[in-house]
Amino acid sequence: MALRPFQFLRFTRTYATLTSSTTSVSPDAPLPPPTLPGLSPTQPRTVKSPLTRKTQLHRTYLSLLRSTPLMLFFQHNNLRATEWVALRRELLFGLRKIDPNSTLAEGTRITVLKPALFASSLRVAEGHDPLHKRSSEPGGSKIIAEKTEKLKETHPLSPVLTGPVAALSFPSVEPVHLKAALDILFPLKNPKKGLDPLAISGLQKFVLLAGRVDGHVYGSRSGEGRVMDIDLIRVLALLPDVNTLRGELLAMLRGAGGADLVMNLGNVGIGLTRTVHTYQKMLSGELDSDGNPVQTNAEGGEEKKE
Amino acid sequence: MALLGPDARTTMKIKTTVLSRDSEIGGRVEVGFKDGKEIQMDTSKMTIADIVEEVDRHSRVLKRVDDLAG
């Protein structure tokens, strides 16, 4: 029984990541093939030519915005190429040191942005939601532009996106990694000891400006971001990780007599996992598609897993 | 900031503070010259060109003094 809450946690966690990835990755309904002849069918439809640099950058920024749950924006002032290289290396090694097995370090990237283009991509990502409302035109750039015009003035990130701006993007929200990255790139007082001197001279030219958390992290729709200022980012970096917080919440619920609630919430996940396991076994050939043996064996498999 | 060269931090001391979103002051630039003169500017209504002009006004004088001294 003592292990049970953790099992429940793991089930919900995998379930949550599954749903978020399907909503963010899966394309909205099948679209007709591209309008421009001679292009691969995997090219998304656009009004503007997909061969220009601007279109490709726009797409890169859009996918960056849609796939990263946490981004930090900072100003970079005249860094030399060697300083960039040193800083990227220090960041990679610093993150790898925390957890050598995870791929989080490789996924954490510094991207130098073109602010105006990024701002327009941001407006599309936040103001135009193809999953919920679709324009009749392919791509519908004019309609999107009109729809998102007001965001130019009202968006909280718009004062940040001027001058030389770069973004640090994390593949997932892990406060430990965020804290390590902040310590390396934006130290509060003295730079971390043992850094490359080139990296130190480089990080003096950084100014941390703001952060953005994507909607699918905190339960809103994907693409709808929340902007944080520097103090909030530092607070976020000090939080314990998600599993610890979930454990605390669970303990609190149990203490307050919410054990029934916990059980009921867990049942959904457990039921789903059972179904999927059964199906998986049927596919792999361990079970035939009969009713009775499937039922008993599924129960056995579930117990083994627990 | 972007107008400063890559080696600017080795020749002078530069301190930057990012104001929070709900801060009262609009922005400020303080420059201390090597002869001890200090300039303060409120940048909420100034452009970059204005700031450069103000700072250059005194640095030209300093440069001329240096040149005359040889």
**Between chains, do A229 and B6 touch, taking CB under 8 Å as contact?**
no
Mean pLDDT, residues A171-199: 86
CB A220: neighbour CB atoms within 10 A?
13
Cβ–Cβ of A164/B4 closer than 8 Å?
no
Contact B18 A208 (CB under 8 A): yes
Residues on chain B touching A77 (C-beta within 8 angstroms): 1-2, 4
Q: Which of A168-182, A191-205, A206-220 has the highest mean pLDDT?
A: A168-182
Q: Does residue A163 sit in helix, strand or coil?
A: coil
Mutate one of A77, A82, A189 to test the B interface: name it (highest B CB count within 10 A).
A77
If pLDDT is split at 50, 70 and 90, which confidence band does A34 have? very low
**Contact between chains at A78 and B6 (C-beta distance less than 8 A):** yes
Query: What are the CB-based long-range contacts (under 8 Å, 24+) for A8-17?
Result: A8/A250, A8/A262, A8/A265, A8/A266, A8/A269, A8/A270, A9/A243, A9/A246, A9/A247, A9/A250, A11/A266, A11/A269, A11/A270, A11/A273, A12/A265, A12/A266, A12/A269, A13/A242, A13/A243, A15/A269, A15/A272
Contacts of B61 (CB under 8 A, 6+ apart): none
Phi, psi of A209 (to 5 degrees): -110, -55
Confidence (pLDDT) at A229: 84
Contacts of A79 in chain B (CB under 8 A): 6
Examine the pLDDT at A66 and tell me if it is beyond 60.
yes
Q: Where are the domains of chain B?
A: 28-69
Model confidence over A262-304: pLDDT tens digits? Answer: 777 778 888 888 888 888 888 887 766 654 554 444 444 444 4
Lowest model confidence (mean pLDDT) among A89-93, A105-109, A124-128, A135-139: A135-139
Backbone angles phi, psi at A270, to 5 degrees: -65, -45
* Domain A53-239 in CATH 3.30.70.1730: yes
Average pLDDT, chain B: 81
pLDDT band at A81 (very low <50, low <70, confident <90, very high): very high
Any residues with CB less than 8 A from the CB of A12 and at least 6 apart, and which? A265, A266, A269
Q: Quote the pLDDT of residue A112.
A: 93
pTM of the model: 0.69
Least confident of A124-128, A237-241, A288-292, B60-64: A288-292
Task: Judge contact between A227 and A156, C-beta under 8 A.
Answer: yes
Q: Given B6, B20, B21, which is nearest A80 (Cβ)?
A: B6
Question: CA of A257 to nearest chain B CA: how many angstroms apart?
Answer: 41
Q: At what angle do helices A259-284 and A291-305 cross, to 10 degrees?
A: 120
Q: What is the pLDDT of residue A46?
A: 65
Say whether A78 and B9 touch across the interface (CB within 8 A). Answer: no
